[in-house]
C-alpha cells in the first residue's frame, strides 16, 4: 500500500466522521494524518511502531490503525462508517469543493443518496432554496460534478504507469520467452490514462492464461482489467514488432500523417528513417504536435531526466513541508543536483503555515548559513509568493529584494473567468520581482479543472518581462499543460520543471514533469533547470537586474 493510498483512507475516514457529526478532535487528527502521510518520503506501511512515533501528527490511535492495515489490509473503524453510509454519499465525498456539511444537508433534508439523484436535483434547479446553497453554489457544484463524472475510470499518468509496470513485471516472469511491452497512452506518457495497452508477440491463448493467473487481473463482464483499469492487448508477429510498436503507440491522427509502409524493421528508429522521417520519440506522437513537425529538434536535443541540473520550488518545515531545509538539500546532493531552491509558502497561505516576514528573514539567515557549509550543491533562497486577487504579490518589494528566486502562484480565489484570471496573472508577471510563474492554471488532474486563462497572452507577457513558466511536476498538477510548451518556446520563454516538493520523496516528482515536457519535444536549451550552475546564476543576475530598472 502506497503512502497516497494509506493517506486516502484517513482522508475518507475524517470526512465520514464529519458527515456523521462526530468529535472535531478526531476529525482533525485524521485530516492531519492524511496530510502528513501523503508527503512522507518512505513507505509508512512498512514502518515499526517506534518509527511511526517519530512522524509528526501520527499519534498512538493513528499508529494502531496503520498497523491494523499493515497486518490485515482493513481498518475496522473505516469499515464501520462505510457500512452505515450509502455508497453514493461516499462517492460525493470525493468531489472537490463539496464538503461533508453540504452533503449532509442534501442527504438528510432532500434524501439525495446517489450522484444521479444529485445531478437531477441540480438540473431541476432544486438546490437554490436549500440552506447553504443558492444559484452560484448550485452552478459551481454542477461544474464540479460533471468534471468528477467525466474523470471516472481514469488514472493520473504516474499511477497508471506504476500499475502497468507491476503487470509487466508479472507477465515477464510468466512468459520469459516472448516480448511484452507497454504501448498506447502509456508509451506516450500521457498525463491522464484510461487503459493499459500492451503489445506482445505471445500466442494470445497463452497470454490470456498467464494474465488470469496474476493477482489483480479481473475479467468481470468479459472486460479484461488490472486493479480496475481496462487492459487492451495488441498482438504482433515477431518480425512486425518495430512497425506495430510505432503504430500502436501513435495516436491515429499522428500515424496517418506518417504514411509508413508495413515492412520488416530492426527497431523503431528504422521505421521512421526508412520512411523519410526523423525518429519521433513515443511521447511526441500526439495530434497536437502535427503543426510543429518542422520545429522538431531531434531526439538528442529533447530534455531528458538526466539533463535536469537544478531543483527549483521546494518546501520545508518552515511552511507545510515534511523535512527541514538541511534535510531537503542533503537529499538534493544525494541526487547530484548542482543547485537547490527553497521556496516555502508566503504569508497569505495561512492554511500552509505561510511565512511571516520575520520568519522569512529567519529562514533566509539559515539558508545562507547552510549554503556556506556545503560544497556540492548551491542552496538558493526563494519564496512561493501568493498572487493576490488584484495580481499583486503578498510581500513588500524590499522583502522580495532579499530573495534569489520568487515563484508567483495563485492558491485562492480560483473561480475566475478567463478575462479576470488572465489579467491577474499578467499583473503578477509584470512585477519585476517575479522570476517564475507557478502552476499557471491551478488544475488538479481528475480532481479540479483548470481555471480558464488566455495562454497566448500570458506566454507573451512572460516573454516580455523575462519570466519563466513552471511546469509543476507534481503528477496531480503537471501544470502548465504540455500543449502550450511549443508556443512558449517559439517566444523564447524558459520552462522550469519544478517538483513542488513537500518532502524528500517529492523531489523525485521532477521525472514526471520531464515526461510531460517531452510530449511537446521541449528542447534542452529552453528548460530553465537544465542550465548548469554558472548559467543559472547568470539567469539570476538578469532577474535581479530587472528589479532595478
User: What does the pLDDT average to over 135-157?
Assistant: 88
User: What does the pLDDT average to over 275-280?
Assistant: 97
User: What does the pLDDT average to over 69-79?
Assistant: 89
pLDDT at 512: 97
The answer to whether the CB of 376 falls within 8 A of the CB of 355 is no
Per DSSP bridges, beta strands 405-409 and 378-386 are parallel
Q: Nearest-CA neighbor of 438 among 485, 524, 496, 492?
A: 496
Phi, psi torsion values for 192, nearest 5 degrees: -130, 135
When pLDDT is cut at 50, 70 and 90, the band that residue 365 belongs to is very high
Count the neighbouring beta carbons within 10 Å of the beta carbon of residue 467. 26
CA distances from 528 to 308, 382, 453 (A): 9, 16, 23
pLDDT at 375: 87
Q: Nearest-CA neighbor of 497 among 293, 341, 365, 297?
A: 341
270-278 own/partner pairs: CB under 8 Å, 24+ apart: 270/242, 271/242, 271/243, 271/245, 271/246, 272/246
The answer to whether the CB of 90 falls within 8 A of the CB of 12 is yes
pLDDT tens figures, 526-543: 999 999 999 999 999 999
pLDDT > 70? residue 156 = yes
The pTM assigned to this predicted structure is 0.87
User: What does the pLDDT average to over 208-213?
Assistant: 86
pLDDT tens figures, 392-430: 999 999 999 999 999 999 999 998 999 999 999 999 999
Cα 423 from chain centroid (whole Å): 25
User: What does the pLDDT average to over 23-35?
Assistant: 87
pLDDT > 70? residue 9 = yes
Burial class (CB in 10 A: 0-12, 13-18, 19+), 54: exposed
The answer to whether the CB of 190 falls within 8 A of the CB of 216 is no
pLDDT at 221: 66
pLDDT > 90? residue 459 = yes
3-state secondary structure of 320: coil
Task: Name the H helices within 314-465.
Answer: 325-334, 357-372, 397-400, 418-430, 455-464
Amino acid at each position: 500500500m502506497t503512502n497516497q493510498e494509506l493517506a486516502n483512507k484517513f482522508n475518507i475516514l475524517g470526512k465520514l466522521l464529519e458527515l456523521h457529526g462526530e468529535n472535531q478532535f478526531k476529525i482533525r487528527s485524521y485530516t492531519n494524518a492524511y496530510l502528513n502521510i501523503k508527503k512522507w518520503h518512505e513507505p509508512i506501511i512498512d514502518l515499526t511502531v517506534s518509527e511511526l512515533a517519530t512522524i509528526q501528527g501520527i499519534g498512538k490511535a493513528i499508529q494502531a490503525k496503520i498497523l491494523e492495515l499493515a497486518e490485515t489490509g482493513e481498518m475496522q473503524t473505516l469499515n464501520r462508517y462505510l457500512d452505515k453510509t450509502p455508497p453514493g454519499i461516499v462517492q460525493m465525498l470525493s468531489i472537490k469543493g463539496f464538503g461533508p456539511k453540504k452533503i449532509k444537508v442534501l442527504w438528510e433534508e432532500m434524501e439525495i443518496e446517489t450522484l444521479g439523484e444529485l445531478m437531477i436535483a441540480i438540473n431541476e434547479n432544486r438546490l437554490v432554496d436549500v440552506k447553504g446553497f443558492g444559484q452560484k453554489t448550485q452552478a459551481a457544484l454542477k461544474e464540479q460534478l460533471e468534471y468528477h463524472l467525466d474523470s471516472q475510470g481514469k488514472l493520473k499518468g504516474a499511477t497508471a504507469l506504476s500499475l502497468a509496470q507491476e503487470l509487466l513485471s508479472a507477465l515477464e516472469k510468466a512468459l520469459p520467452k516472448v516480448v511484452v511491452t507497454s504501448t498506447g497512452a502509456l508509451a506516450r506518457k500521457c498525463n491522464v490514462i484510461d487503459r493499459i495497452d500492451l503489445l506482445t508477440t505471445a500466442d494470445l491463448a497463452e497470454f490470456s492464461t498467464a494474465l488470469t493467473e496474476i493477482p489483480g487481473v479481473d475479467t468481470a463482464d468479459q472486460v479484461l482489467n488490472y486493479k480496475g483499469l481496462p487492459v487492451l492487448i495488441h498482438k504482433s508477429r515477431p518480425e512486425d514488432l518495430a512497425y506495430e510498436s510505432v503504430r500502436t503507440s501513435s495516436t491515429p491522427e499522428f500515424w496517418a500523417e506518417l504514411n509508413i509502409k508495413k515492412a520488416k524493421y530492426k527497431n523503431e528508429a528504422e521505421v521512421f528513417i526508412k520512411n523519410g522521417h526523423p525518429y519521433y520519440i513515443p511521447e511526441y506522437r500526439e495530434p497536437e504536435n502535427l503543426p510543429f513537425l518542422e520545429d522538431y529538434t531531434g531526439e538528442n536535443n529533447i530534455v531528458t531526466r538526466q539533463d535536469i541540473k537544478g531543483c527549483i520550488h521546494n518546501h520545508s518545515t518552515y511552511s507545510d513541508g515534511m523535512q527541514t531545509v538541511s534535510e531537503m538539500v542533503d537529499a538534493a546532493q544525494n541526487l547530484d543536483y548542482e543547485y537547490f531552491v527553497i521556496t516555502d509558502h508566503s504569508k497569505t497561505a495561512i492554511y500552509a503555515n505561510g511565512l511571516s516576514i520575520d520568519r522569512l528573514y529567519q529562514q533566509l539567515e539559515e539558508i545562507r548559513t547552510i549554503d556556506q557549509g556545503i560544497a556540492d550543491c548551491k542552496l538558493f533562497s526563494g519564496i512561493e509568493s501568493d498572487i493576490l486577487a488584484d495580481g499583486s504579490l503578498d510581500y513588500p518589494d524590499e522583502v522580495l529584494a532579499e530573495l534569489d528566486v520568487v515563484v508567483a502562484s495563485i492558491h485562492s480565489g480560483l473561480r475566475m473567468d478567463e478575462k479576470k484570471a488572465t489579467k491577474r496573472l499578467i499583473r503578477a508577471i509584470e512585477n519585476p520581482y517575479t522570476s517564475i510563474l507557478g502552476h499557471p492554471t491551478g488544475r488538479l488532474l481528475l480532481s479540479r479543472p483548470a481555471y480558464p486563462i488566455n495562454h497566448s497572452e500570458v506566454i507573451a507577457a512572460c516573454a516580455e518581462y523575462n519570466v519563466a513558466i513552471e511546469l509543476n511536476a507534481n503528477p496531480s498538477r503537471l501544470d502548465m499543460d504540455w500543449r502550450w510548451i511549443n508556443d512558449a518556446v517559439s517566444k523564447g520563454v524558459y520552462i522550469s520543471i519544478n517538483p513542488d516538493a513537500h518532502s524528500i520523496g517529492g523531489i523525485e516528482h521532477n521525472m514526471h514533469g520531464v515526461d510531460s515536457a517531452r510530449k511537446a519535444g521541449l528542447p534542452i536549451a529552453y528548460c530553465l533547470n537544465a542550465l548548469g550552475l554558472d548559467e543559472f546564476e547568470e539567469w539570476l543576475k538578469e532577474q535581479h537586474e530587472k528589479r532595478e530598472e
